[in-house]
Amino acid sequence: MAATQFDPIYHALSPEVGKMRVASSGMAWKGIDSGEVTAIAGGDIKSAQWLRVARGFQLRLGLKDRKRDTFDGFKREDLKKITELLKNHFQITLEEIDVSFKGWNWGITDFRGQDLAFLVSGKMGFELPLRNVANSNIAGRTEVSLEFNTPSGQTKHAGDEMTEIRFHVPGVMSKVKAGSDDGGSQKSDAEGDDDDEISAAQVFHDNIKEMADIGQVTGDMILSFEEVLVLTPRGRYDVDMFPDFLRLRGKTYDYKIIYTAISKLFLLPKDDQHVLFILGLNNPIRQGQTRYHYLVMQFTREEEITAELNMSEEEVAKFDRLKKNYEDPTFEVVSSVFRALAKKKIIGSGSFQSRDGHPGIKVNLKAVQGDLFMLEKYIFFVSKQPVLIELSDIQQVVFSRVSQGTVARTFDLKIVTKSGPEYMFVSINKEELEPTETYLKEKKIRIKEIVPDAELVMAAVGDDDDDDDMQSVDSDEDKRPRIKSAKDDDEDSSEDEDFHASDSDSGSPSESDSDSEGAATASDASGDRDFTKKKVKKVKKAQDGDAPKKKKKKAAPAGSDAEEDAPKKKAKAKAKAKDDDAMDVDADGDKPRPKPKAKPKPKKDGDDEGRAMDVDDEPPRPKPKPKKKAEGASDEPPKKKLKKADD
């Protein structure tokens, strides 16, 4: 009888499409792309099941030796034809399995051979092939995480695949019932003594490890390193070396890493006391949502170990530079064994040396602190999340904050790659600038330096000037005293007036030069005599020409009459009376208009005489000493300005 063909059909979990033929002698499937053939003899088929799956309908065959094989992609109308073929050729009745479509995420787990079934209301929700489980970890007391192997050879039809699934298994179980297949919560309330109870999550985890052959020795262990300090992911692990893979056994997580998944090996000195041994992984290990592409181990230089490999001399001779016995520092033994078993060359530190003689420099990548190693073909940033940059992928390196005018002791380094990403390393000591530039020039990498913005430079200069002004006034004759007087004259005018009223050293200025008088006094006080002479000449000219103009604007008639008619007794008035009169002027400043009318008539009144003295009291004082006139008059213009404000 001719064979019946079905297509397109998928074999097991393979993404490759193929054709399936059923004949009286058995079944066979052939992949279209690879040409791989899977044949099953008719006598090996013991049972058959039909169920709905993601890729159509699935034909599940139970074979001898408790094995299973599955074929997906059948259509609904193929059910009748498959039923007849199995009954006619192999005398097997096809069983239809109901699948739950409720979408519940709680149910019962059942271990069926090499598969883990999740049942919802007695119907199958999904199944997981335990042979594809790479690791099983207990995350917390009630959560079990399963990680799956990633296929090494991907085809063009490969799509998304599940890499991890977590089960919440609450409650406790008795150790007597620990061997049962049910790891759910139905038996979580088992009664018993505290010593005979174990968490249901631990039972479920142990069953997974047993069924998936996790942790079991598939070969003889070659060597084991205990309590190795691993920086990434953080913790202490026991490292067990096997012929084809290694195992990391920690308190919470266990990892299985195949040697073929190791891409690079690095042995780098961290400082004078520690050495880093780093494994680059093609398939990252996971802890929750965090993926680790590098495994960073740290060893001390002084630590030594004596080890003997569990291998014969013939087996040791098959590996490159592998020895039977070791009595060396721990990091040398570990690196030697990894290099031989993984068959990878170890990348060491290059010729680059920092100011301290180390192959790396301290840098920050964003907020992460680490060591930046300048290697022969790579720039390697080692931290909690290492970053490896190939020199051939670097488009240019940009330096910033390296100008000698800046006060900062550090500089920044940005690496722009051809593939797209940019890495900004900051807070690098300026002493590392020269060796870094030399290294990059030797590697013929394009270097660019960013000149600071003009605004930043001006701001820095402005800050320096302010600091200098606070420390010294006489540093610059033309600029700094003026800057200071503009800020401080208004605040200290009253104190300067009281001080100069008794010491008056200069003539009366004009209104336009009132601001520069403070600078003149400041320079005079600091010892700049040349600057003072220039200012004194300007003040004298202002006294001869500008003083009458001020009197005409404000109270010139009253002031001029007071000067002619005022008796000599007024010139001998005491300083206290002058201060009181000055206060009277401020108090009566609200009535400037009636002044000219009131002053000519009552010449002998004390108040009016005091007011006349307020305007022209200080010109008589400096007559014997002309220089004092300018200083006395310099105190009066602010008072006259107050009158203008009142007007």
Q: Domain range spanning residue 545?
A: 485-646
- In a domain, residue 464? The reply is no
Q: Give the torsion through C-alpha atoms of 424, 427, 431, 436, to 10 deg.
A: -10
30-71 tens-digit pLDDT = 999 888 999 999 889 999 999 999 889 999 998 887 788 899
**Region at 530 (left for phi over 0; alpha for psi -120 to 50; beta for the rest):** alpha
Residues 118 and 197 in one domain: yes
The letter for the amino acid at 517 is: E
pLDDT over 60 at 607, yes or no: no
Residues 494 and 630 in one domain: yes
- Can you give the pLDDT at residue 161? 78
Structural contact between residues 162 and 219, judged by C-beta atoms closer than 8 angstroms: no
Q: Encode burial over 163-177: b for 16+ CB neighbours within 10 A, e otherwise.
A: eeeebebebbbeeee
- In a domain, residue 472? The reply is no
- What is the rounded distance in angstroms from the CA atom of residue 71 to the CA atom of residue 137? 31
Higher model confidence: residue 174 or residue 222? 222
Kindly report the average pLDDT of the chain as a whole number. Answer: 74
- What is the rounded distance in angstroms from the CA atom of residue 240 to the CA atom of residue 64? 35
pLDDT over 70 at 176, yes or no: no
Residues 497 and 628 in one domain: yes
- What is the rounded distance in angstroms from the CA atom of residue 83 to the CA atom of residue 187? 39
Mean pLDDT calculated for residue range 465-482 = 44
285-310 tens-digit pLDDT = 877 678 899 999 999 999 999 999 98
End of a domain among 296, 324, 347?
Answer: 347
End of a domain among 181, 211, 241?
Answer: 211
Higher model confidence: residue 396 or residue 455? 396
Residues 402 and 329 in one domain: no
- In a domain, residue 637? The reply is yes
**Region at 103 (left for phi over 0; alpha for psi -120 to 50; beta for the rest):** left
End of a domain among 430, 452, 474?
Answer: 452
What are the distances in angstroms from CA 210 to CA 64, 165, 176, 554? 21, 18, 17, 108
Read off the pLDDT band of 501 (50, 70, 90).
Answer: very low
What is the CATH classification number for the domain harbouring 185?
2.30.29.220
Read off the pLDDT band of 139 (50, 70, 90).
Answer: confident
Residues 500 and 423 in one domain: no
Residues 329 and 373 in one domain: no
Residues 227 and 327 in one domain: yes
Higher model confidence: residue 378 or residue 253? 378
SS (H, E, C) 535-581: HHHHHHHHHHHHHHHHHHHCCHHHHHHHHHHCCHHHHHCCHHHHHHH
Residues 234 and 370 in one domain: no
Q: How many helices and strands, by DSSP H and E, does the chain display?
A: 15, 34
Residues 490 and 631 in one domain: yes
- What is the rounded distance in angstroms from the CA atom of residue 16 to the CA atom of residue 154? 10
Query: Sign of the CA dihedral 629, 634, 637, 639?
Result: negative
What is the DSSP code string of 305-366? EEEE-SS-HHHHHTSTT--SEEEEEHHHHHHHHHHHHHT-PEE---S---TTS-SEEEEEET
- In a domain, residue 399? The reply is yes
Residues 10 and 84 in one domain: yes
- Which tokens is 511 given? 């209104």
pLDDT over 80 at 360, yes or no: yes
Structural contact between residues 108 and 124, judged by C-beta atoms closer than 8 angstroms: no
Mean pLDDT calculated for residue range 631-638 = 48
Contacting residues for 395 by C-beta, under 8 A, at least 6 apart: 416, 417, 418, 446
- In a domain, residue 402? The reply is yes
Q: How many domains does the chain have?
A: 5
Residues 343 and 369 in one domain: no
- Can you give the pLDDT at residue 157? 52
Q: Beta-carbon neighbour count of residue 263 at 10 Å? A: 15
Structural contact between residues 320 and 302, judged by C-beta atoms closer than 8 angstroms: no
Map residue 104 onto helix, strand or coil. Answer: coil
Question: What does the longest C-alpha to C-alpha distance in the chain come to?
Answer: 151
CA angle 135, 137, 138 (to 5 degrees): 165
- Can you give the pLDDT at residue 28? 94
The letter for the amino acid at 171 is: G
- Can you give the pLDDT at residue 471? 45
- In a domain, residue 466? The reply is no
- Can you give the pLDDT at residue 214? 62
Mean pLDDT calculated for residue range 552-577 = 42
66-109 tens-digit pLDDT = 788 899 999 999 999 999 999 999 999 999 999 998 889 999 99
Closest listed residue to residue 165, CA positions, set 110, 128, 209, 115 = 128
pLDDT over 90 at 371, yes or no: yes
Pick the range with the lowest mean pLDDT from 177-181, 327-331, 457-461. Answer: 177-181
